[in-house]
Amino acid sequence: MLKKLLVANRGEIAVRIIRAAQDLGIATVAVYSAADGGSLHVQLADEAVNIGPPASKKSYLNIEAILKAARDTGCDSVHPGYGFLAENAAFSDAVTGAGLVFVGPSGVAIRIMGDKVSARSAAAAAGVPVVPGSAGRVEGLEAGREVLAETGFPVMIKAAAGGGGRGIRIANSLAEFEQAFPQAEAEALAAFGDGGLYMEKVIGKARHIEVQVLADGSDAIHCYERECSLQRRRQKVWEEAPSRALSDGLREELCASAVALAKAVKYSGAGTVEYLYDDEADRFYFIEMNTRIQVEHPVTEAITGIDLVAEMLRIAGGEKLRIRQGDVSVKGHAIEVRLNAEDPAKEFAPFPGQVAELRIPGGPGVRFDSMLYQGYQVPPFYDSLLAKLIVHAETREAAIVRLIRALNELRIGGLKTTKPLFLALAADPAVRTGDVHTRWLEGWLIENAAALAG
Amino acid sequence: MAQILSPLPGTFYRSASPDQPPYKADGDAVSAGDVIGLIEVMKSFHEVRAETAGTNIRFIADNEEPIMAGAPLADLD
């Protein structure tokens, strides 16, 4: 078992990890930038180390400063959380190289999954269906034309080194393709220092469905799926589990494919295999694997009863998987919404400020993961996630009713948040029936702009 | 003399991206509406524009400096 853990993150996820470690009797060290001295994660950890100025580059992304803090406080392990250095293979290597345990997969596994082309190849090799497209990198326009036979139009041209929705172009015809391909090449080279491209068929209406896996380097299990189709600018805002779109047969197939991929890359820790699900064709396609704990992990915890962060810490401490696949079962339905410091009435403009009043929802089936406290000054230097509200109930319908109840209990004074968005979504007939896809919310936001502004 | 104040809290940038020249150099003249820098707030970027014209701009805030709303960014004659 680990003895002393450095949490290389901030905000709600740092708080979440500190809690899991303390539940296991592991001592905790928080790190913080000069802007975060008063943060909840600093207050809750057993020790805290200032690692630099507010700019992330000089603090939360500063590998040297983080390793020094770990050495100075006698830590034996580092948890990267999500974002910042969580999927940085060099960081995983540096932590291991310093004689510490990295709570996550090896640098090798992070590298394979970090490059879109090698991830796609690894998935295909493990028998996971991938979106029809190029087998690997597409070398030149001529080779690109040949791939069109596989994909048809519209086709996506993506930068191999891209990610998070960046470096993507869509062509609807051969003429558009011949114009876009060289542009994409130049753009990828300028933006990522790597002009490598690959191509994928555009799946028109798709759901985003992802499978949670846990692995110990040799064995792997899944903890079923989450659906995160409600997205704004490719950022998830509402996540739930299980997905109402899958039949039991396809669910088992999907989850088994994620386990096969995790085993194939000798994965260790918690990870998420992401897919697009095409309702009409009733088929799923691999998109990418995230080699970290994800923001939306609590919905899986709610329906399976598994503490994913605690399991990550146990695995990192050298234990084999304690949970067998047959022991994982789904109970009820869970929904998470992301409360961001953004004003939905003003095109989601960021709204940093001071928490004047805080009333946290509670009662049966309600969980509130957050770094907020009354008087907390939200710094403007980091992302806008303030809190995650997670509700769990017997059915999806009951979970939505409970979500509305909990949102009405919640009061965050002094800030604008995305709470009004979720009250409006929870009342929407399409959301109620779950009849949505990944581009649904953007259209809904345009149609409902006036309602949100009021 | 006039001062350009930051409309938002966040990180101040003097150029559109690290490989671009600054929007304005010390000593430049400024027209009303000119972009003089960017403020990054929670990962979104907002242009800072001069409200009035002036000459001989002198920056008070450095590139990548954390600033609060209302903080002076530059002096203008």
Q: Is the pLDDT of residue A442 over 80?
A: yes
Q: Is the pLDDT of residue A303 over 80?
A: yes
* Six token digits for residue B11: 């990180």
DSSP helix/strand/coil, A301:
helix
Looking at the DSSP bridge assignments, the partners of residue A47 are A29
Sheet holding B10-13, edge to edge: B44-49, B35-41, B10-13, B65-67
d(CA A10, CA A62): 14
Instruction: Provide the terminal-to-terminal Cα distance of chain A, rounded to the nearest Å.
Output: 53
CA distance B11 to chain A (A): 7
pLDDT for residue A453? 79
* Six token digits for residue B38: 């960017």
d(CA A266, CA A358): 44
Looking at the DSSP bridge assignments, the partners of residue A391 are A335, A366
Looking at the DSSP bridge assignments, the partners of residue A385 are A340
Among candidates A53, A54, A350 on the partner chain, residue whose Cβ is nearest the Cβ of B44: A350
Average pLDDT over residues A290-316: 98
pLDDT interval class at A191 (50, 70, 90): confident
* Six token digits for residue A233: 């600018």
Q: Side chain identity at A227, as an amino acid letter?
A: E
Look at the domain B2-76 and name its fold: OB fold (Dihydrolipoamide Acetyltransferase, E2P) (2.40.50)
How remote is the C-alpha of A233 from its chain's centroid? 14
Domain A4-103 - what CATH class?
A: alpha beta
Pairing of strands A4-7, A27-33: parallel
CB contact under 8 A, A350 and B42: yes
What contacts A217, CB < 8 A, 6 or more positions away?
A266, A267, A268
Residue A346: count of CB within 10 angstroms of its CB: 12
Domain ranges within chain B, ordered by starting residue: 2-76
What integer best gives the mean pLDDT of chain A? 94
pLDDT interval class at A276 (50, 70, 90): very high
Task: Examine the residue annotation and report whether A292 is marked as an active-site residue of this protein.
Answer: yes
pLDDT for residue A238? 98
> Is B42 near chain A, with CB under 8 Å?
yes
**Pair B21, B44: CB distance under 8 Å:** no
**Pair A26, A7: CB distance under 8 Å:** no
Identify the CATH homologous superfamily for domain A207-453. ATP-grasp fold, B domain (3.30.470.20)
Reference A296, options A419, A433, A390, A398; nearest CA is: A390
> Is A132 near chain B, with CB under 8 Å?
no
Between residues A430 and B42, the one the model is more confident about: A430
Catalytic-role residue among A10, A292, A314, A402: A292
Domain ranges within chain A, ordered by starting residue: 4-103, 132-201, 207-453
d(CA B10, CA B71): 10
Average pLDDT over residues A216-245: 96
Q: Could you give the dihedral angle defined by the CA atoms of residues A244, A246, A249 and A250, in that order, rounded to the nearest 10 degrees?
A: -160
Sheet holding A197-201, edge to edge: A166-171, A155-163, A197-201
Among candidates A35, A55, A352 on the partner chain, residue whose Cβ is nearest the Cβ of B41: A352
> Is B9 near chain A, with CB under 8 Å?
yes
What's A3-22 look like in SS3? CEEEECCCHHHHHHHHHHHH
pLDDT for residue A163? 61
Residue of chain A minimizing CA distance to B10: A380
**Pair B8, B46: CB distance under 8 Å:** yes
Among candidates A35, A53, A383 on the partner chain, residue whose Cβ is nearest the Cβ of B43: A383
What contacts A404, CB < 8 A, 6 or more positions away?
A423, A426, A427
pLDDT above 90 as % of chain A = 85
Q: Is the pLDDT of residue A166 over 70?
A: no
Residue B62: count of CB within 10 angstroms of its CB: 10
Q: Is the pLDDT of residue A409 over 60?
A: yes
Residue of chain B minimizing CA distance to A340: B42
Q: Is the pLDDT of residue A193 over 90?
A: no
Tens of pLDDT, residues A89-140:
999 999 999 999 999 999 999 999 988 889 999 999 999 999 999 988 898 9
Hey, which bits of chain B come out as E strands?
2-5, 10-13, 35-41, 44-49, 58-59, 65-67, 72-76
pLDDT for residue A430? 97
> Is B64 near chain A, with CB under 8 Å?
yes
pLDDT above 70 as % of chain A = 99
**Exposed / middle / buried, residue B1 (Cβ in 10 Å: 0-12, 13-18, 19+):** exposed
Q: Is the pLDDT of residue A164 over 60?
A: no
Q: Is the pLDDT of residue A369 over 70?
A: yes
Q: Is the pLDDT of residue A165 over 70?
A: no
Dihedral-angle region of residue A217 (phi above 0 means left; psi in -120 to 50 means alpha; beta otherwise): left
Residue A274: count of CB within 10 angstroms of its CB: 18
d(CA A273, CA A268): 13
What integer best gives the mean pLDDT of chain B? 92
d(CA A51, CA A6): 12
Look at the domain A132-201 and name its fold: Dna Ligase; domain 1 (3.30.1490)
pLDDT for residue A454? 62
